[in-house]
Structure 1
Amino acid sequence: MKSKPFLLYPVVLFLFIFLVDKIFLLPIFHDEFLQAGNSVFYFQRKELAKRLLADKEASEKNLALVFGDSRSYPFSELGIPEPYRKNWTLYNFSSPQGIPMNSYIQLKKLLDMGIKPEFVILSLSPEAFDDNKGFILSPFLRMGCDKECLDIVWKDIPIKEKWNFFLDKVFVIRSLELNLSLFSSRLKRGKLREYKSAYNEEFQLINYTKGEYLMYGVQSNPIEKIKKDTVRIGSLYMSSYTPGTSQIPYVEAFLDLAQKNQIKTLVLWPKVYGDYYKYFEKFHIKEVWWEPMEVLAKSYGAHTLNWNKEGTCDLFNDASHQSAFCFIDQMKEIWVNYAER
């Protein structure tokens, strides 16, 4: 039988790619490798915890903490109404696609560091509870969950996401989700140092205050633009909806932790644009998701607040996020009715 070395070419190519991929195991790609958006936020939240620990004012005033996803970005100390503001400081740990697993891990770590808030806001979104949407879980597993965290949450990770996580370990570049266009742009401009926080403008903007992100306050977008965005995110998040089980234990764990530490807690459902809320009505989100959340929260002595109702601010940046202009009155509502109660 004649030798056919060309049959080995695919194997050699695979081994070569596999070895080159291991370059991305170097610490430079994991300790601090800021691309844009998600990676910047998740890195900043770790830095924010260090800043909070070193903040003397936080130990002298009442401390409020915010947890959740991007719908909670604009919660800011600036929104605490007078005369309460002088007695409070607020740190915002909400994260991109910040699922309840992430909120629980953040609160647990802060308490383990000796940081004890007087009041916490846990913001919940129904999209985070659909286990079939793996892309919602992915940012947390890649950027917000270390080995200690994995030991806690692994049993509740859906099988499909465990497989994806395994592939991220085998092919490391997957876990980085390397943005080639951003790399090319920075390379052409001689700005590769922007992968480091000290030179990254997006990081500096977020890190300037106490975690809040007020970009959603710059405008209330035209209705036509918001309606187009409604179609986009409706097809992305709500083409189907199946409430899963992976996140519920971490809502309960968060509430249990807050109750044991005598922390006043508000569980909040932020408002979405009316046309997008129609997707929620299609899948009876209020009945199958929010009402059970209310029952669970109240069983641990927490308050609940649903802003998806008449009379709540109707200014929106996009279909999924209210304008930060809304949060002035909403922060007043929270402080008068819940934080100071």
Structure 2
Amino acid sequence: MKSKPFLLYPVVLFLFIFFVDKIFLLPIFHDEFLQAGNSVFYFQRKELAKRLLADKEASEKNLTLVFGDSRSYPFSELGIPEPYRKNWTLYNFSSPQGIPMNSYIQLKKLLAMGIKPEFVILSLSPEAFDDNKGFILSPFLRMGCDNECLDIVWKDIPLKEKWAYLLDKVFSIRSVELNLSLLSSRLKRGKLKEYKSKYNEEFQLINYTKGEYLMYGVQSNPIEKIKKDTLRIGSLYMGSYTLGSSQRPYVEAFLDLTRKNQIKTLVLWPKVYGDYYKYYEKFHIKEVWWEPTEIMAKSYGAYTLNWNKEGTCDLFNDASHQSAFCFIDQMKEIWVNYAER
């Protein structure tokens, strides 16, 4: 029988690819490998916790912590109204696709570090509760959840996302989600050092203050642009909607932590653009998601606030995010009615 070495070529190719893939298991790709957006934020939140622990002012003043997703980025100490500002400091731990699992794990770790806030704002978005939208859960599992975290949340991860996570472990490059266009750009500019926080401008911008991100500080974008964005994100997030079961236990666990530690808590539903809110109405979000959340929050002694109502600021950066200018009056509302209550 004649030798047929070409039959081994696929095996050799597979072994080569598998070996190259294992390069992405090196710590350099996981400890501090900043690409853009999500990876920068999740890394900065870990650094922010260290900064908070070392901040003497935080122990001398009343401390507020903010948790949630990108809709709560603009919450800032700068927005605390006079005369209250001299007595308060605020750190913002909201994260991209900041699901309740992430908020609970963050708060749990901060409390374990000996950091105890006087007031906590938990910002919630209904999109995070749809277990069929795996892309919402993915950033947290890849960048915000260590082994200790996995031991806590694994039982509540949807089966499809467990499978995706296991594939990330087998094929390491998946977990890195390597941005090839960004890699090419940095190579051409000789800026590979931007993968490190010390040289990364986006990280430096976010890390300059106490976690807030004021990029949404426009007075308002043109209505035509916001309407186009409504169609885009409406199709992405709310083309279909199913209220899942994975996140509710972590809202409750969060509230249980704040009650046990006697932390005043506000559960907030941020406002979205009116045309986008129509998607919420289509799926009866207020009735099936917010009202049960309100009942649960109040049962743990927390305050609740729904900004999706008449009379709330109508300036928007896009269909999903209010302008940062809205938060000036809204922060005053929070401090007068809840923080100082």
Give the distance between the partners of 1:113 and 1:231, measured in 2 at CA.
Answer: 43
CA distance in 1 between counterparts of 2:107 and 2:277 reads: 29
Q: How far 1:175 sits from its partner (Å)?
A: 0.5
Q: Which residue of 1 aligns with 2:108?
A: 108
Q: Give the Å deviation of 1:56.
A: 0.2
In 1, Cα distance between equivalents of 2:198 and 2:44: 12
- Note the C-alpha offset of 1:219: 4.0
Q: CA deviation at 1:7?
A: 2.5
- 1:220 Cα deviation after fit: 1.3
User: In structure 2, how many angstroms separate the alpha carbons of the residues matched to 1:96 and 1:337?
Assistant: 28
**Residue by residue, what CA displacement relative to the aligned partner does 1:295-326 show, whole Å, maximum 9, x if unpaired?**
11001000000000000000000000000000
In the alignment, the residues of structure 2 paired with residue 180 and residue 219 of structure 1 have an alpha-carbon distance, to the nearest angstrom, of 34
Matching residue of 1:254: 254
CA distance in 1, matches of 2:7, 2:313: 65
Tell me the alpha carbon deviations over residues 120-157 of structure 1, each in whole angstroms, 9 at most, x when there is no partner. Answer: 00000000000000000000000000000000000000
SS at match of 2:63: strand
> Take 2:239 and 2:5, find their aligned partners in 1: how far apart are those partners?
49
Paired with 2:12 and 2:238, the residues of 1 have a C-alpha distance of 43
The 3-state SS of whatever aligns with 2:301 is coil
Measure the CA separation in 1 of the matches of 2:10 and 2:289: 49
1:275 positional shift: 0.4
Q: CA deviation at 1:15?
A: 1.1
| Alpha-carbon distance between aligned partners in 1 of 2:294 and 2:219, rounded to the nearest angstrom | 32
Number of residue equivalences: 341
Q: Counterpart of 1:6?
A: 6
In percent, how many aligned pairs have the same letter?
Answer: 93
1:94 matched to 2:94? The reply is: yes
Within a 5 Å distance, the mapping from 1:46-85 to structure 2 comes to 46-85=46-85
Task: For 1:7 and 1:314, locate their aligned partners in 2 and report how far apart those are by CA, in whole Å.
Answer: 65
Shift of 1:2: 4.1
What do the CA deviations read for 1:76-103 (whole angstroms, capped 9, x no partner)? Answer: 0000000000000000000000000000
Could you tell me which residue of structure 2 aligns to residue 306 of structure 1?
306
Instruction: Give the Cα–Cα distance (whole angstroms) in 1 for the partners of residues 220 and 196 of structure 2.
Output: 32
Deviation by residue 1:145-178 (Cα, 9 ceiling, x = unmatched): 0000000000000000000000000000000110
Structure 1 gap segments, 5+ residues each = none
Distance (Å, rounded) in 1 between the aligned partners of 2:280 and 2:11: 49
CA offsets per residue over residues 261-305 of structure 1, 9 Å max, x none? 000000000000000000000000000000010011001000000
Partner of 1:39: 39
Q: Which residue of 2 aligns with 1:325?
A: 325
Provide the rounded CA distance (Å) in 1 between the counterparts of 2:286 and 2:7: 58
Gaps of 5+ in 2: none
Deviation at 1:12, TM superposition (A): 1.5
The alignment partner of 1:188 has SS state of helix
Cα distance in structure 2, aligned partners of 1:126 and 1:4: 58
Secondary structure (helix, strand or coil) at the match of 2:243 reads coil
Partner Cα separation in structure 1 for residue 32 and residue 149 of structure 2: 19
Measure, in 1, the Cα distance between the counterparts of 2:324 and 2:235: 25
Cα deviation, residue 5, structure 1: 2.7
Shift of 1:13: 1.0
Q: CA deviation at 1:11?
A: 1.8
Counterparts of residues 58-207 of structure 1 (less than 5 Å): 58-207=58-207
Tell me the SS of whatever aligns to 1:214: coil
1:137 and 1:212 map into 2 onto residues whose CA distance is 22
CA shift at 1:6, angstroms?
Answer: 2.1
SS in 1 for 2:310: coil
Q: TM-score, normalised by structure 1?
A: 0.99
Q: Distance in 1 between matches of 2:45 and 2:101?
A: 15
